[in-house]
Structure 1
């Protein structure tokens, strides 16, 4: 199990636009359609990664809690499905239903969106404000598979709560740790 950290792009970075297929609805979704009135969470995940499997229950809870409060959510899988068939779009759809995702689960076949966001690992989290400027990037919380720390979503929850209440974000933001994105070999 590789332990790859987030790249921690600069705060204030504007969210790169995208249009990707949603494996759940069968439609194509753009960032403009997904973004929330008050903010937007973009997360890079996949089906097979043990780090993502570990956080899946919290991802579903976050969507259910914060979407009604004006926070848009989207999960994106950018993995090479030729070499990692468990991450194929039809299985993404099954996984989203099984986990109870209330948000789109998008497939980035070209991997261009992951590169635009400088995503490095699964899971990798980005929180943008209403103007689509980055206010948080990094970990969900300190819990990892097998470390015994309870899964709470504390770091991302705090960032969303601060955004909603217009409080300053934490000065220290810890990178997420997970499996590296499975890049295609050119």
Structure 2
């Protein structure tokens, strides 16, 4: 058995639970989309399968398209998000213009550290940290979390970008932005 029967049952159950209700569904950090995930907002015009055995064909069939419901997809890959919600529903997040906002987010995440943090060392790395964040709040938070769990002096002894890149959490490009 290919599992499509049980998948159809799941999609029907989701549809029945959501029918007549407002909902918020979030697909965060999407990297790969196959046909089953395509068009979750129903831009293609098919709100329900044509045949009873088509329920397993697409996730979109399980999501009623009633007013007040919302599907949010976050992705670094434009094509993945576009496949799920359509080109007309894309919203491109722009980096923050005020670098101090990113710094505040970074420092807030860093303040969650269990041990002591050498703030003078962190402050001396401010410019490099902000360049690496590229104005992205999620990058600032991630870097703050990484610094909070790491030994700041060892990070300061090498290039911060290289050390963070090695950790697998953030990879920077030539322009300092996230990839």
- TM-score normalised to the size of structure 1? 0.22
Answer 1 or 2: which has greater helix percent: 2
- TM-score normalised to the size of structure 2? 0.23
Answer 1 or 2: which has greater strand percent: 1
Task: Tell me: higher relative CO, structure 1 or 2? Use CA pairs within 8 A at least 6 residues apart.
Answer: 1
